[in-house]
Chain A
Amino acid sequence: DADVTQTPRNRITKTGKRIMLECSQTKGHDRMYWYRQDPGLGLRLIYYSFDVKDINKGEISDGYSVSRQAQAKFSLSLESAIPNQTALYFCATSDLSQGRAFFGPGTRLTVL
């Protein structure tokens, strides 16, 4: 079984719709991250969380919100999707001791 899972894997939606991307992990890590990847722009950090009560904005948090429902679950929401949020979204977890990040398989989101 995969250590970091993301659902859905692909999603096509329309402008203005609310979308939730979910991430679950079985690695037991406290730290979880949401990144988006666009061609030529690399991985950009949206939000990160060090535990259930600690949520932090990344470099591109506008238009997104997150919820850390449990140590193992971290969800990303787009309250009102817009076309420039079309991207590949990755969830990641990392261990506190060495900081190594492990990624989920990604969610390809298309906003029409």
Chain B
Amino acid sequence: QKEVEQNSGPLSVPEGAIASLNCTYSDRVSQSFFWYRQYSGKSPELIMSIYSNGDKEDGRFTAQLNKASQYVSLLIRDSQPSDSATYLCAVQGNEKLTFGTGTRLTIIP
């Protein structure tokens, strides 16, 4: 079982709709959770961090964490073409930061 799992996609969403990205993790002692956006050929860019159960909102982005289910998600409201990218889920345990393989998101104008 991979430590951090994501659906690789591609996920296609119409412009203006809500994009929903999901991630599960295996290490129950994980403490910190992150979503990164990566454009093709570029480095990952941190867009959201979440540390406790529940929802965290930042502009059009909402991160959701459920530690009991070992599940973290990212919602993107009012999706824009500029949101087309690969989204990486990352989980911080006691030591290392582990990434999922990423979900490729395409926003259709």
A contact residues vs B (CB 8 Å cutoff): 33, 35, 40-45, 48, 50, 56, 58, 90, 92, 94, 98-106
Contacts and interface: CB of A to CB of B under 8 A. Distances in A.
Secondary structure dominating the interface of A: strand
Interface string B31-71: 11010000000111110010100000000000000000000
B88 interface: yes
Nearest to B46: A100
Contact of B49 (A35, A98, A106): A98
Contacts, number: 57
Contacts of A40: 8, 101
A93 B35 CA distance: 16
Interface residues of B, number: 22
A58 B93 CA distance: 13
B96 A101 contact: no
A8 to B, nearest CB: 15
Given A98-B49, A99-B31, A41 B101 contact: yes
- Across the A-B interface, the 5 shortest Cβ-Cβ residue pairs: A42-B101, A103-B43, A99-B92, A43-B99, A99-B32
Contact of A99 (B44, B88, B97, B101): B97
